[in-house]
Amino acid sequence: MKNFINSISPFLQKAGMIVLPLLCLMVGNLSAQDEEASPTGETRKAVKNTFESVWFIDNQTVMVPLKGTFEMDIQHRFGTVKNGYDDVWGIFAPGNIRLGFNYAPISKLFVGFGLTKERLQWDFNIKYALLQQMKGGGMPFSVTYFGNMVVDSRDKKFFARGTDRLSYFHQLMIARKVTEKFSVQVAPSLSYYNNVEGYLDDNGDIQKKMENAHFAIAFMGRYKITEGMAIMVGADQPITAHTTNNPYPNISFGLEITTSAHAFQVFAGNYGSIVPQRNNVFNQNDYEDGAFLIGFNISRLWNF
């Protein structure tokens, strides 16, 4: 499996560099519609609840809550299960946690911020529903944009320049509610770090070990087994090939329980960083070595 991934990585890198900008151009000037007219003059309604939460394990979904919604997120990742009972399969190992807060000031727009334990990273994010899948024909899928800026707020001794603290993430989420129980999503992304690790070559010149920009793509599927419970399966594949320290793919699976105001997800996967660009660019948990970890997401919504 790993050899296959390595063999197609150069192709995926080139494809990602072409497809993601094209997708941005395609949807950049489009606005989402709750209704559209059919050829017969009837009004079509937007498909609701493609996903029940803004989160899908480590990724965002196309869902944007209603105008006036305030959300609080608690996300936790335990250590990997590789040590077995020594740290109770990672539960007692050092973990990672994020607290997040988001608000929908207008229809289809979600803005917020969060703080993650790892590297004391502050994230400031924006999410906008560009297109919505329509019932009875018309637009066949939903498209949502998500982007963030992250500030590494550790002591200044870790950085040569203030701008070295900054990183960015852009993602287009393309999803379809296939049936009332089954939804799928594909999400190409671009991560960018102002500063990456380097080295001095034989001429004394600084060379980068990793690229500043990193393309990746995520796949996910969700199946409802009851009205308030669903199983989730996802995969994240890096595309950009770096000189060294290439990130490992992520495979994840879990269970989601939702109500009108809560979403709870418990899962296992290879990502432990929570901040999306950190996961995509620096993940060193190899699923072939059993480097899985247990995590959970809790979301609470209020409507004003």
R_g (Cα) of the chain, nearest Å:
20
The strand pairing partners of 147, in sequence order, are 126, 170
Distance CA 66, CA 197 (A): 41
The strand pairing partners of 152, in sequence order, are 121
Computed from CA positions of residues 4, 7, 10, 15, in that sequence, does the dihedral angle turn out positive or negative?
negative
DSSP secondary structure letters along 1-70? -HHHHHHHHHHHHHHHHHHHHHHHHHHHT----SEEE-TTSPEEEBPP-SSSSSEETTEE-S--PPTTEE
pTM: 0.85
Residue with tokens 């190899």: 286
**Half-sphere exposure (Cβ direction) of 208: Cα atoms closer than 13 Å:** 11
The reported pLDDT for the residue numbered 20 is 52
Summarize pLDDT for 53-104 with one digit per residue, the tens. 999 999 999 999 999 999 999 999 999 999 999 999 999 999 999 999 999 9
The reported pLDDT for the residue numbered 22 is 45
The class of domain 2-25+46-303 in CATH terms is mainly beta
Using a 10 angstrom Cβ sphere, with 0-12 exposed, 13-18 middle and 19 or more buried, the burial of residue 225 is exposed
The reported pLDDT for the residue numbered 244 is 87
Which amino acid is present at 183?
S
Going by C-alpha positions, the residue among 164, 155, 166 that lies closest to residue 122 is 166
The reported pLDDT for the residue numbered 151 is 98
| Helices and strands, counts by H and E, the chain | 2, 18
Q: Are 129 and 32 in contact (CB under 8 A)?
A: yes
Distance CA 115, CA 150 (A): 9
Sites in the chain below the pLDDT cut of 70: 1-43, 198-202, 204, 206
